[in-house]
């Protein structure tokens, strides 16, 4: 009797964990990406921007190749970390995913930051993916969108804008072309998540991210040869001598930002859908603010704490199920 009771409790616990695992995964992904900006800033003290991308993706691809081959040798082919070959009929989906993000997203994001005078405004515009995701997901996937989804996204987006804008002083616009560039960057990121949903479920998240990063590397490498290749040959690959800070920063970007976070986010999208997964993008400014508070002593004004509260409330509302639903599965 006791054994049956323990077994039932274990099964119940397993079912609960299986339901909340995608949410734990996406929160971890957003936490990792929240620290990416700091790691990029530190890395650029030692390497050129395109060189950083090449190094970052090369390390990520080698790591995923090693993990995937080990997983394939010791685990089932369909496991989370297995590495599979792409069927010919699925190649267009993988090419589209890799082209959308990080290739097009990186390009549009970079020129958006260069066009707009205020990084704060650029960050706010680039954080609007949760507002666009429900409509594209409904139009392209017929993914159901509930009133709670819309209400939660609006609440959390208000909180996100408060987090980004409160306490900022520079609101000069700069070149207005940065606004449509931000919109294109956000659309690229959202379409990427939609393509993730369309890729057959037999492919593991690691396989998807591996080919995504490989396509990106093949795209960026010729550009690097043209832009940074000659300078690297004459002046060296690094701008400064190797330092522990550089190794930590590049390692963080390669291992955590380019591999772990993408695998976790890919897993979440395929489990809970485009709309609900993208809603968690509003949590990234929370983690960035908390990282700055914890490690750099940057104090948060009351407006930012209110913004944090609104983001959290909005995320809870967005994930709450309701009937009737708008759209269909």
* Half-sphere exposure at residue 222, Cβ-oriented, CA atoms within 13 angstroms: 4
Rounded CA separation 168/186 (Å): 22
pLDDT tens track for 223-265:
888 888 888 888 887 878 888 888 999 999 999 999 999 999 9
Rounded CA separation 164/247 (Å): 29
Q: Say if CB 44 and CB 249 are below 8 A apart.
A: no
* Half-sphere exposure at residue 309, Cβ-oriented, CA atoms within 13 angstroms: 7
pLDDT for the residue numbered 328: 40
pLDDT for the residue numbered 159: 84
Rounded CA separation 202/54 (Å): 29
The DSSP secondary structure of 292-310, one letter per residue, reads HHHHH-PPPPHHHHHHHHH
Q: Which two tokens stand for residue 108?
A: 């549009």
> Any bridge partners for residue 174, and if so which?
116
Residue 216 backbone class (left: φ over 0; alpha: ψ -120 to 50; beta: rest): alpha
* Half-sphere exposure at residue 29, Cβ-oriented, CA atoms within 13 angstroms: 24
Rounded CA separation 101/177 (Å): 21
pLDDT for the residue numbered 142: 81
In sign, the C-alpha dihedral spanning 268, 287, 253, 101 is positive
pLDDT for the residue numbered 322: 59
Rounded CA separation 37/32 (Å): 10
One digit per residue, pLDDT tens: the chain, 329 residues? 555 655 565 556 556 667 889 999 999 999 998 888 788 878 888 888 888 888 999 999 999 999 888 877 666 555 667 888 899 999 999 999 999 988 898 888 878 877 776 666 677 777 778 888 888 888 888 888 788 888 888 888 888 888 777 766 555 656 778 878 888 988 999 999 999 888 988 888 999 999 999 998 999 899 888 888 888 888 887 878 888 888 999 999 999 999 999 999 999 998 888 888 888 887 877 887 788 778 777 777 888 788 888 888 888 888 776 554 444 43
Task: Give me the residue spans of the domains in the chain.
Answer: 25-319
Rounded CA separation 42/147 (Å): 42
Rounded CA separation 19/294 (Å): 31
Q: What is the pTM of this model?
A: 0.81
pLDDT tens track for 170-211:
556 567 788 788 889 889 999 999 998 889 888 889 999 999
Rounded CA separation 92/42 (Å): 36
pLDDT for the residue numbered 242: 80
């Amino acid at each position: 009797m006791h054994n049956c009771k323990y077994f039932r409790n274990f099964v119940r616990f397993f079912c609960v964990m299986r339901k909340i695992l995608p949410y734990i995964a996406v929160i971890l992904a957003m936490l990792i990406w929240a620290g990416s900006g700091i790691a990029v800033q530190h890395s650029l003290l030692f390497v050129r921007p395109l060189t950083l991308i090449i190094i970052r993706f090369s390390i990520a691809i080698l790591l995923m190749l090693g993990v995937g081959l080990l997983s394939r040798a010791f685990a089932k082919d369909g496991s989370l970390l297995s590495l599979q070959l792409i069927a010919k009929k699925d190649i267009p989906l993988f090419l589209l995913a890799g082209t959308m993000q990080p290739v097009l997203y990186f390009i549009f994001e970079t020129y958006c930051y260069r066009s707009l005078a205020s990084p704060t405004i650029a960050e706010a515009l680039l954080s609007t993916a949760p507002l666009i995701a429900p409509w594209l997901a409904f139009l392209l996937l017929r993914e159901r969108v509930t009133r709670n989804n819309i209400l939660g996204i609006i609440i959390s987006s208000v909180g996100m804008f408060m987090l980004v804008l409160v306490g900022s002083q520079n609101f000069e616009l700069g070149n207005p072309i940065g606004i449509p560039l931000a919109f294109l960057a956000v659309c690229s990121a959202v379409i990427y998540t939609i393509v993730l949903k369309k890729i057959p479920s037999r492919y593991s998240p690691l396989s998807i991210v591996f080919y995504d990063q490989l396509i990106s590397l093949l795209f960026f490498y010729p550009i690097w040869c043209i832009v940074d290749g000659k300078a690297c040959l004459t002046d060296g690959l690094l701008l400064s001598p190797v330092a522990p800070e550089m190794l930590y920063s590049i390692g963080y970007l390669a291992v955590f930002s380019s591999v772990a976070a993408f695998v976790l986010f890919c897993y979440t999208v395929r489990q809970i859908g485009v709309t609900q997964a993208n809603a968690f993008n509003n949590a990234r400014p929370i983690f960035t603010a908390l990282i700055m508070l914890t490690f750099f002593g940057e104090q948060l004004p009351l407006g930012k704490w209110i913004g944090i509260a609104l983001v959290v409330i909005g995320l809870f509302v967005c994930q709450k199920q309701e009937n009737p639903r708008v759209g269909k599965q």
